[in-house]
Structure 1
Amino acid sequence: MAQLKQPLVVYLNDSDNVAIAVTEIAAGTDIQVRDRHVIARAPISRGHKIAVSEIAAGAPVIKYGQSIGKSTSLIFPGDHVHSHNLTDHHEVESVIRSTAPPQAPPPIRRTFEGYVRADGRVGTRNYVAVLSTVNCSATVCHKVVQRFDEQRMRRWPNVDGVFAATHTTGCALALGSRKHQMIARTMAGYAQHPNVGGRLIIGLGCEQNTPGYLAEHHGVVPLHAPDGKPITRDDRVPVLTMQTEGGSAVTIDHAETLVEQLLDRANEAKRSTVDASHLVIGVECGGSDGYSGITANPAIGAVSDRIVACGGTSIISETTELYGAEHLLCQRSRSPEVAQRLVDLIRWWQDYVAFYGGQLDNNPSIGNKAGGLTTITEKSLGAVSKSGLTALEAVYDYAERVTAKGLVVMDSPGFDPSSVTGKVAGGANLVLFSTGRGSCFGCKPTPVIKIASNSELFERMPDDMDLNAGEAIAGKTLDQLGDEFFEFALRVASGESTASERNGFGDHEFVPWTVGPVL
């Protein structure tokens, strides 16, 4: 089969005054951009922007048909457009008075093989979780998990593994404070996750984040099981406290016995055919580059649309990376109230970052900029394309359980481990994660599908990438990629392993986001 010829640049919208280089372009190169020719006035790196028309000083630089900032000097056709001549000062609308949600997509009927849980939710994996209430019990949790290595786990073939969910807080916080609520929501979300077939909680005994608080506010009912007694078949969660047990060594031994019982029970679960409406996907981007917003992210958006058409749920987060593109989600919101909730979150983030002397405009990382992204608006316009084209139905707090069907936003930082942790706590049973620079992220108990934004990355890091969105540059349509990636997602939901799972990643990516003082 003849290989598709790759162009020198991609031109996204008829109103754009920049194009994106898809290969290294030397100064003096004659570049055809649709019906015009442009001579590169400087070397243009892959993923970076080249001006295709003159841009006056102070005039908008247009990409995706949207302003991504303003030029700081006169830009000539063929100039490199980046941090040296482009800046951004985005203004957030204060009050949303009307919205125009799109029509629902035509329904799709698909199935996958999942684990049906007692509460009606469906898992794509079957893990046993060992959770710490406080950092003081984190090491004990990990030592328990270490006793269940690959060889020993062969005894329980229907269980994907045992993992520890530990963190850096749980004490030195005000009882019932926002910080306490956030860590408790996150813990409860993992303990009750449909991908978890058994769970054990281990604490020290004097922390603020007690099992009693989880029971009172999140329905995680503790079971203080005496050593040697079998775990009863109910919804209670076995709890150990190191101070009560008599120390760390005794706790580890007792926990090992309890985990064996949990594994015996979890091993009884079997996959069955279920409707794809039970899929709850989290969409994420990390290590983004100039390709991410034109290949991998819109391809994920196409999968999101298909999941919504199936009656499922798609969660987009990273609130700091919606800033600059929030108006697009506001326009698509189900109601002005939903849109206002999103705008209020953006404005909270502006105040929060300013309190520490920062600005949301500074969000693009060094790696993002090296990959061709200049401003937060440019990054956000590419990031928001992961949401597809359907209506925004609801906005959730961090780690809040997601119950709505369709596209939703969850408040979170842009830091990938914290963002994904929140979505998984909210119920995501599958994650689609795009990267242009190369991320090796995994997240037990939820499988993470890694999507390369460019073919060079896909070929350079083949052990870490699942799918290649770089084929969009070579001629495949985003709709074709959406179909292919959707089918792959269904296979992963049914048990096919991802690259990060084959690599054994996901044991240290439980990184809850909390806001508040350490007391």
Structure 2
Amino acid sequence: MDKPLLPRLQIQGSAFPHDKPIDLQEAAVLLQAGDDVAIARLPLSRGLVLRLPDGRLLEVGQRIQAGHKLALRGIAQGQPVLRYGSIIGFATQTIAAGSHVHTHNLAVGTLHQQYTYGSELRLVDPVPLHQRRTFLGYKRPDGRVGTRNYLALIGTVNCSASTIRAIQKRFGPEILRRYPQIDGIIGLTHKNGCAMGRQGIKTLQRVLAGMASHPNVGAYVLVGLGCESNQIPHLINEMGLSAGRQWKEPLSLTLQEHEGVAQTVEEGVRLISELLPQVNEVRREPVPISELTLALQCGGSDGWSGVTANPALGYCADELIRQGGTAVLSETPEIYGAEHVLLRRARSQEVGEKLLARLRWWEQYVAINDMEMDNNPSPGNKLGGLTTIYEKSLGAIAKGGSSPLNAVYQYAEPIAERGLVVMDTPGYDPVSVTGQVAGGANIVVFTTGRGSCFGFKPAPSIKVATNTPLYENMRNDMDLNAGVILEGEGVGAEEIGRQILEEVIAVASGKKSKSEAQDIGEEEFAPWILGATM
């Protein structure tokens, strides 16, 4: 029998009887006592009577899908609507108690936030050194530790992309089987590298340099055309790239210098053949999990993301930080409207103001590109129950747990601080993760409520489903199921957070994630394109 394609959205009627009132918590999730809405656990049909925590009876006025919002009280037009104890939007019409709250009666409006810096700062209680966990990683000469061991062909311009793919094809499974310590030869190609302005080139060079020096990359070769704006010597000098090992200079090729594609391919094959035995020499060894830099991501979010998977991932992030590790919260447009929560945990006013400066930049950026911050949530997000960017952001930042916010970084900037940090990236998953990994993240955890099948190389991606029907429908793509939090079996976000941490340690030590098992993650390399293309 075929499984449902969407989380219980196809179920007709209600799972509850109508002959007597039922307690709200059986039918819906109320996150904070003062919230105006609760989230339906199952489809709620018209006429169902709910008993609220204060003893009031509430009759459901219309059918409400699972993951969508139920009004717990009447809300006047123009009044704010609270979820997570914060404003998720403003009523565009009068909303009756028991009504469905969604795009037809809720929209963003102007928030008049009162920002405080560090008012809820809670110092981390570190795990004693002798009790800290370890994983099996690859130690690199610069002191960083890899979770994978790739050899990378890195394109400086789109014009070299086909040549890179041709070099890769020359190294099939029969050859790579001779080098068991190597996870593969990846080709990091892209659509940029020429006809770009100064800001675009600088951003691209940060990404490419971050991948070249990444702890998951044992060696690399730069491949260019020769006449592009993003010149290889400039990239090497500006980004301070060094080859390491026996090579005096970073290895590089250009099609024009090597008389075209065919000869460049042959030279690339020769270089890779010489590198393979060297890269294969490294062995995994026990290292503290403080050497993990975890990229926090959510995509294809739904109404449950901020209730199950994201808070669980936040618990994992807090535990990793207690162990001395680093967690990277990104997707700046999905912080918008929830920034006040992070600012209360900012280590300093300076850190908080850096975050606000990025948000103000985004307001200008979307305006000059004829967009709005509320262009996000996507249609899929809305079908899953999310209505406004404020609501999405409040659920998204739950991935960041409760640790102090220690630093704010530009896109693909090298991450130097430990603990919780923010990197300024778009919300689009491939572009966002590309920046996080270029900054040094060596593993990714990606939560999803709609079913994102995301992978990324060279950093493995672990996917966490927000609800059980999604997990059951996409078992080959979902690594963990946070939906059990909703099922009344006494499993909470902390327990799932512990499971996520255990999976992070296992995957960091060499276990293949579901996306890796399907060889997904090379095409997801997508540097942020900034500025005009000339």
Q: TM-score, normalised by structure 2?
A: 0.92
2:325 matches 1:312: yes
Instruction: Tell me the equivalent position of 2:9.
Output: none
Instruction: Tell me the equivalent position of 2:527.
Output: 512
CA distance in 1, matches of 2:505, 2:118: 36
Instruction: Tell me the equivalent position of 1:347.
Output: 360
Correspondence for 1:385 among 386, 390, 398: 398
Local SS of the residue matching 2:436: helix
Correspondence for 1:492 among 493, 507, 510: 507
Matches within 5 A, 1:117-128: 117-128=140-151
Which deviates the most, 257-266 or 278-287? 257-266
CA distance in 2, matches of 1:358, 1:443: 28
Identity %: 46
Question: Aligned pair in 2 of structure 1 residues 465, 119: CA closer, same or farther (>3 Å)?
Answer: same
Instruction: Tell me the equivalent position of 1:14.
Output: 33
Tell me the number of residue pairs that the alignment of Structure 1 and Structure 2 aligns: 505
2:231 matches 1:216: no
Question: Aligned pair in 2 of structure 1 residues 353, 92: CA closer, same or farther (>3 Å)?
Answer: farther
Question: Aligned pair in 2 of structure 1 residues 38, 147: CA closer, same or farther (>3 Å)?
Answer: farther
Instruction: Tell me the equivalent position of 1:47.
Output: 67
Local SS of the residue matching 1:240: strand
Instruction: Tell me the equivalent position of 2:316.
Output: 303
CA distance in 2, matches of 1:419, 1:188: 16
Give, as a single letter, the amino acid of the residue that structure 2 aligns with 1:488: E
Structure 1 residue ranges without an equivalent (≥5):
224-231
Question: Aligned pair in 2 of structure 1 residues 94, 517: CA closer, same or farther (>3 Å)?
Answer: farther
Give, as a single letter, the amino acid of the residue that structure 2 aligns with 1:348: W
Instruction: Tell me the equivalent position of 1:228.
Output: none
Correspondence for 2:224 among 203, 208, 216: 203
Compute the RMSD of aligned alpha carbons. 1.7
Give, as a single letter, the amino acid of the residue that structure 2 aligns with 1:496: K
Instruction: Tell me the equivalent position of 2:214.
Output: 193
2:45 matches 1:26: yes
Which deviates the most, 95-104 or 243-252? 95-104
Instruction: Tell me the equivalent position of 1:233.
Output: 246
Instruction: Tell me the equivalent position of 1:229.
Output: none
Instruction: Tell me the equivalent position of 2:11.
Output: none
Local SS of the residue matching 1:243: coil
Instruction: Tell me the equivalent position of 1:79.
Output: 99
CA distance in 1, matches of 2:498, 2:110: 35
Q: TM-score, normalised by structure 1?
A: 0.94
2:306 matches 1:285: no
Give, as a single letter, the amino acid of the residue that structure 2 aligns with 1:155: R
Deviation at 1:97, TM superposition (A): 6.5
Q: Retained in 2: the 8 A contact 1:323–1:376?
A: yes
CA distance in 1, matches of 2:262, 2:56: 73
CA distance in 2, matches of 1:490, 1:192: 22
Moved over 4 A (4+): 92-100
CA distance in 1, matches of 2:371, 2:209: 32
- 1:69-115 Cα offsets, whole Å, 9 max, x none, are 11122222210000111111243759866654221134261111000
Deviation at 1:39, TM superposition (A): 2.1
Instruction: Tell me the equivalent position of 2:83.
Output: 63
CA distance in 2, matches of 1:68, 1:214: 44
Question: Aligned pair in 2 of structure 1 residues 355, 235: CA closer, same or farther (>3 Å)?
Answer: same
CA distance in 2, matches of 1:94, 1:135: 46
Local SS of the residue matching 2:256: helix
Which deviates the most, 8-17 or 25-34? 25-34
- 1:437-466 Cα offsets, whole Å, 9 max, x none, are 000111000000000000010001110000
Q: Retained in 2: the 8 A contact 1:11–1:33?
A: no
Correspondence for 1:245 among 238, 252, 258: 258
Instruction: Tell me the equivalent position of 1:419.
Output: 432
Instruction: Tell me the equivalent position of 1:150.
Output: 173
Deviation at 1:33, TM superposition (A): 4.1
Give, as a single letter, the amino acid of the residue that structure 2 aligns with 1:152: I
Question: Aligned pair in 2 of structure 1 residues 156, 345: CA closer, same or farther (>3 Å)?
Answer: same
Deviation at 1:222, TM superposition (A): 6.8
CA distance in 1, matches of 2:74, 2:114: 33
2:270 matches 1:257: yes
CA distance in 1, matches of 2:504, 2:531: 37
CA distance in 2, matches of 1:143, 1:517: 30
Local SS of the residue matching 1:167: coil
Q: Retained in 2: the 8 A contact 1:434–1:453?
A: yes
CA distance in 1, matches of 2:112, 2:505: 38
Question: Aligned pair in 2 of structure 1 residues 222, 518: CA closer, same or farther (>3 Å)?
Answer: farther
Question: Aligned pair in 2 of structure 1 residues 207, 221: CA closer, same or farther (>3 Å)?
Answer: farther
